[in-house]
Amino acid sequence: MSAARLPLEGITVVSLEQAVAAPFATRQLADLGARVIKVERPGVGDFARGYDETVHGQSSHFVWLNRSKESVTLDVKTPGGREVLARLLAGADVFVQNLAPGAAARLGLSATELASLHPSLVVCDISGYGADGPWADRKAYDLLVQCETGVVSVTGTPEAPAKVGIAIADIAAGMYAFTGILTALYERRATGTARAVEVSLFEALAEWMGYPAYYTAYSGGQPQRVGAAHATIAPYGPYDAADGKTVLLAIQNEREWAAFCAEFLGDASLAADPRFHRNSARVARRAELDAIVAARFAELDAAAAVALLERAKVANARLNTVADFVAHPVLSGRDRWREVATPGGPVRALLPPATLAGVEPRMEAVPSVGEHTEAVLKDLGYEAATIAELRDAGAV
């Protein structure tokens, strides 16, 4: 039985991409079957290739973000490189770029200019703070955007703010670019109109800050930093069991609070205690409540604590390390791992989280720098002698 056709087969994406946001968007398009031609700098390639050397001598970021793509090296500042890019775009459905502020426009690659040349091309621009506005020319990296959006101010402990441990601004922008491109392709198919897509890291993460923004605007004060606990729900956070392991629990409503008091704390009357009878009261007396809960955890090892929480139907989790996550029984039990080839050797990779019934996502190799340059140029009609000339000129 043949494999099911992938949803984006027949779609060609050309991407002038680097770092995280754009590569994350285009990798997801590749997962769904799109042909993604990744344009990199001759020699060094995407600078994310040099972030570290931990995965068979390769960057962990790059291996994560660039499977199933074709790598073509071009110096788009040279006449030869620009000609190759023009030919690529003439046959593309989607163009993605996350170059430095203003760089795409200087290269003649603005959405407006490309629309006049290629009316059916969906153009997606990813920037730090937007294509216009007071910060259009300002550089933006993930941690800087976490700071500017206030994420860092609500993350960490009362004593010290902290950044989120993964690149959430880049990931958020990549996700919105991915969904924006899919929406634009859907509209193009329905109406024939190819709309440009614009995503900024700042506005992507601003959306994720919706809850603390509303809370601050209408309460007069922003959510407090409470470490791994929840800023506005209690009890909701980590507690140390007698064996030194940490268990996180989450109370979401009064029914769960009553069950927690009866089954876990062994004191059903505590549920109606005026100090703790509703969530806002529990948050106000968080320290007093935490002392009661912590004392109970100190009597139990982690396994016994989890068993009681399960009996009370209270949501809970272990405070896992990254190694614990990689070995998680849900990932192995649901067959989520696949093997992907890389220039340095095979690696395990997780299937994309959106599972389409009957469809096996594309999970092909991570390319080396410029691995597909010659093949792609031949597909575009370049003769071997011309390709050699382009190489000699430093254009590819």
Q: Give the pLDDT confidence of 219-233 residue by residue, as tens digits.
A: 999 998 989 999 889
Q: Is residue 323 part of a domain?
A: no
Exposed / middle / buried, residue 256 (Cβ in 10 Å: 0-12, 13-18, 19+): middle
Give residue 261's pLDDT.
Answer: 97
User: Distance (Å, rounded) from C-alpha 308 to C-alpha 302?
Assistant: 10
The DSSP secondary-structure symbol of 262 reads I
Per DSSP, the residues of 266-313 read S-GGGGG-TTTSSHHHHHHTHHHHHHHHHHHHTTS-HHHHHHHHHHTT
Whether 61 maps to a domain, the answer reads yes
Q: 98 in a domain, yes or no?
A: yes
Separation CA 317–CA 250 (nearest Å)? 9
Domain check: are 296 and 343 in the same one?
Answer: no
The pLDDT, as a whole number, for residue 146 is 97
Local confidence band at 313 (pLDDT 50, 70, 90 cut-offs): very high
Q: Residue-wise over 167-195: b if at least 16 C-beta within 10 A, else e?
A: bbbbbbbbbbbbebbbebbeebeeeeebe
Domain boundary (318, 349, 378) is at 318
Is the same domain home to 33 and 139?
Answer: yes
pLDDT of 173 over the 70 cut: yes
Average the pLDDT over 351-374 and give the result.
96
For residues 366 and 282, membership in a common domain is answered with no
Same domain? 167 vs 293 = no
> With bands split at pLDDT 50, 70 and 90, how would you rate the model's confidence at 4?
confident
What percent of the chain has pLDDT above 90? 97
In a domain, 327, yes or no: no
For residues 129 and 1, which has the higher predicted lDDT (pLDDT)?
Answer: 129
Q: Is the pLDDT of residue 255 over 80?
A: yes
Residues 189 and 43 in one domain: yes
pTM, to two decimals: 0.92
Per the domain annotation, does 150 fall within a domain? Answer: yes
> Do residue 96 and residue 204 come from a single domain?
yes
Same domain as 22, residue 74: yes
The pLDDT mean for the chain works out to 95
CATH number, domain containing residue 353? 3.40.50.10540
Structure tokens at 10: 């027949």
**How many Å apart are CA 12 and CA 8, to the nearest integer?**
9
The pLDDT value given to residue 1: 37
Rounded distance between C-alpha atoms, residue 108 and residue 96, angstroms: 14
174 and 146: one domain? yes
Q: What is the pLDDT of residues 149-169, one digit of tens each?
A: 999 999 999 999 999 999 999
Query: Containing domain of residue 256, as a range?
Result: 236-318
Residue 390 has pLDDT above 70, yes or no: yes
Same domain, yes or no: 24 and 123: yes
Assigned domain for 386 exists: yes
Q: How many domains, in total, are found in the chain?
A: 2
CATH number at residue 313: 3.30.1540.10
Separation CA 133–CA 122 (nearest Å)? 23
Q: Is 107 exposed, middle or buried (0-12, 13-18, 19+ CB in 10 A)?
A: middle
Q: CA-CA distances (angstroms) from residue 171 to 21, 81, 119?
A: 6, 30, 29
pLDDT for the residue numbered 3: 64
Average pLDDT over residues 300-313: 97
Residue holding tokens 């969906």?
A: 122
In this structure, the answer to whether residues 34 and 175 fall within a common structural domain is yes
Tell me whether strands 94-97 and 69-73 are parallel, antiparallel or unpaired: unpaired
pLDDT tens profile 51-81: 999 999 999 999 999 999 999 999 999 999 9
Residue 84 lies in a domain: yes
259: confidence class by pLDDT, cuts 50, 70, 90:
very high
- Which pairs from 49-56 meet CB under 8 Å and 24+ separation? 49/369, 55/342, 55/344, 55/347, 56/342, 56/343, 56/344, 56/345, 56/347
Q: Residue 170: which H helix or E strand, with range?
A: helix 168-191
The verdict on 307 and 339 lying in the same domain is no
In a domain, 20, yes or no: yes
Domain stop point among 285, 318, 351: 318
| Residue 171, phi-psi category: left (phi > 0), alpha (psi -120 to 50), beta (remainder) | alpha
pLDDT at 54: 96
If asked whether residues 358 and 309 sit together in one domain, one would say no
Last residue of a domain, one of 286, 318, 350: 318
